[in-house]
Amino acid sequence: MLLGASLVGLLLFSKLVLKLPWTQVGFSLLFLYLGSGGWRFVRIFVKTIRRDIFGGMVLLRVKAKVRRYLREQRTVPILFASTVQRHPDKTALIFEGTDTHWTFRQLDDYSSSVANFLQARGLASGDVAALFMENRNEFVGLWLGMAKLGVEAALINTNLRRDALRHCLTTSRARVLVFGSEMAPAIFEIQASLDPSLSLFCSGPWEPSTVPAGTEHLDPLLEDAPTHLPSRPNKGFTDKLFYIYTSGTTGLPKAAIVVHSRYYRMAALVYYGFRMRPDDIVYDCLPLYHSAGNIVGVGQCLLHGMTVVIRKKFSASRFWDDCIKYNCTIVQYIGELCRYLLNQPPREAEHQHRVRMALGNGLRQSIWTDFSSRFHIPQVAEFYGATECNCSLGNFDSQVGACGFNSRILSFVYPIRLVRVNEDTMELIRGPNGVCLPCQPGEPGQLVGRIIQQDPLRRFDGYLNQGASNKKIAKDVFQKGDQAYLTGDVLVMDELGYLYFRDRTGDTFRWKGENVSTTEVEGTLSRLLDMADVAVYGVEVPGTEGRAGMAAVANPAGSCDLERFAQLLEKELPLYARPIFLRFLPELHKTGTFKLQKTELRKEGFDLAVVKDPLFYLDARKGRYVPLDQEAYTRIQAGEEKL
């Protein structure tokens, strides 16, 4: 009886709500039935039908709103104006560092003053302004004010220095750079090579001697600027909002394009999918130059009227105290953050908070249950989605370890797929007809999403660099003639359609919550060491999330000034991108197409029992590379050595 009712409900849902042809619905169910061994289909159906219909309804709700806002040419500032109108005096943002509370009206006024000031300085819709600042309320007000004018903000990672920082400013073609006073030393390092026409503005404590010549103090200028709403720019729902810089295979950071509809979609999918409420209070200690902190987190404030607590940087020791102080009900995380919290000694505060949901990505199955049970968090809201990707996932029913799901019954609704891939090269494996081969349950594959540019949920906006965009697109993936976005991530699907994350093994890996481009690090190391062959890859370290960077260097001489090398690296690469381990060997083997062979190097890692070449590791206390001996190796394996 239950199965029959569920099946009828599914058919009606597919036909009346999704408006799919009867033939498509019927054949999909028939193929699943036959492909699943008959009665196994019944088991899959019963266990997943409720989840799948809920996910489908969330998708339809967001899609309906996206189509409406597309028709009405809404933008994020216009949607924010509606939020302000609903509750102008409600607290919008709290900056923990100074305990500063901004109401929605205050955020609206501040952002309008930004727009009017920039307009008075000659900026107009379509111009770019770079923002280089640590987390605080002003960060949100600045990019939102730029958006009110139609100016596109380039949100620059505060870890970047020298070449990478200069690259971001140059490629964005920014006319203005707004930086926090805390970032002044980094600007000093590159000021000689900056475009003389670039206007510099500093926000925060002002000391003229600490900023580059010609810099103006922004704060008093904004206080004198009018707060009326500027005239509406010629921008629509699919136009550019801002740029987020993400590492990749091109060597230097790439500017991922975030359009207004994408900002809305990312924030709305988690809001509806995880059943958030307007009275929730979000604790956001993630960087605002990344999409998790600035879209998934701050987006709940701008679009749905939540209060968001911003912290300058994550602190494991202060985390639960902050949550209690500000009555937070939702906390954001990345996988490493959860492990850091678990490594803290037990405290009373971890039982006194009101947090009901942990929202984020990268929480590994090995610590998932420990995290939720120790800190008494009933809902873990794990999601998957890169800044530029068109195939976001959500684990809407808190399946332990899963980053989302792809319905095995309604797979024709959401065009994503795991396809077979060579995990070392990330090359797609194709069948005799040239189309990619789908993975079966239990078989790892690369996640791909079909590109449909006319559909705001399926479009791929890519990067400012068209060449970088083209590298993320594959043809003939689902069928001949189509295009799909390549995530670069290897996942595995179980029988019920739940998807589980596997670390990147291609040209990028994750460490300290950041994507590390092996190409970028290899280029930097080759230059600093004056060595032609350097292979960079990620290796697993017990008790840590992601993979630690390791560099194998072809150095027949076997000598290197490692102390000076560490000093140079500190200036050239952000902390998360500096290799933790070094391996010096006579030569590096290459493939027939002259690519460095990393498979065996990755497998051998830094295991002293296997590797006989000289090994070194970056001693965090000394700030330099020291030999990896058995004692140090044992400490690292036991999690006693800080990396």
pLDDT at residue 39, rounded to an integer = 66
**Statement: residue 38 has pLDDT above 90:** no
The answer to whether residues 525 and 498 belong to one domain is: no
pLDDT at residue 544, rounded to an integer = 83
93 in any annotated domain:
yes
The answer to whether residues 282 and 144 belong to one domain is: yes
pLDDT at residue 2, rounded to an integer = 43
The answer to whether residues 308 and 293 belong to one domain is: yes
The answer to whether residues 510 and 498 belong to one domain is: no
Residue with tokens 């009206």: 105
The answer to whether residues 544 and 478 belong to one domain is: no
42 in any annotated domain:
no
pTM: 0.84
The answer to whether residues 115 and 233 belong to one domain is: yes
The answer to whether residues 471 and 522 belong to one domain is: no
Q: Is 404 helix (H, G, I), strand (E, B) or coil?
A: strand
How many domains does the chain divide into?
Answer: 4
The answer to whether residues 98 and 237 belong to one domain is: yes
Tens digit of each residue's pLDDT (9 = 90 or more) over 370-399: 999 999 999 999 999 877 888 889 999 999
Among candidate residues 261, 294, 312, the one where a domain is terminated? 312
The answer to whether residues 522 and 480 belong to one domain is: no
Handedness of CA 119, 124, 125, 128 (dihedral sign): negative
Q: Model confidence at 84, in pLDDT bands (50, 70, 90)? A: very high
Report how far residue 132's alpha carbon sits from residue 130's, in angstroms, rounded to the nearest whole number. Answer: 7
Contact 248, 159 (CB under 8 A): no
376 in any annotated domain:
no
Rounded-to-5 percentages of helix, strand, coil across the chain: 35, 25, 40
Mean pLDDT, the chain, as a whole number? 88
Higher pLDDT, 358 or 409: 358
134 in any annotated domain:
yes
Report how far residue 501's alpha carbon sits from residue 39's, in angstroms, rounded to the nearest whole number. Answer: 29
In this prediction, residues 548-555 reach a mean pLDDT of 90
pLDDT at residue 573, rounded to an integer = 84
Most distant pair of Cα atoms in the chain: their distance: 79
pLDDT at residue 8, rounded to an integer = 46
Tens digit of each residue's pLDDT (9 = 90 or more) over 445-484: 999 999 998 888 888 999 998 988 999 999 999 999 999 9
The boundaries of the domain holding residue 420 are 405-502
State residue 413 phi and psi, 5-degree precision.
Answer: -85, -45
The answer to whether residues 182 and 288 belong to one domain is: yes
Handedness of CA 359, 361, 362, 364 (dihedral sign): positive
The answer to whether residues 537 and 517 belong to one domain is: yes
Q: Model confidence at 563, in pLDDT bands (50, 70, 90)? A: confident
Q: Is 177 helix (H, G, I), strand (E, B) or coil?
A: strand
Report how far residue 486's alpha carbon sits from residue 491's, in angstroms, rounded to the nearest whole number. Answer: 12
247 in any annotated domain:
yes
382 in any annotated domain:
no
In this prediction, residues 193-218 reach a mean pLDDT of 94
The answer to whether residues 471 and 562 belong to one domain is: no
Report how far residue 109's alpha carbon sits from residue 92's, in angstroms, rounded to the nearest whole number. Answer: 13
Q: Residue 421 region, left (φ>0) first, then alpha (ψ -120 to 50), else beta?
A: beta
**Residue 143: both structure tokens together:** 């990019």
320 in any annotated domain:
no
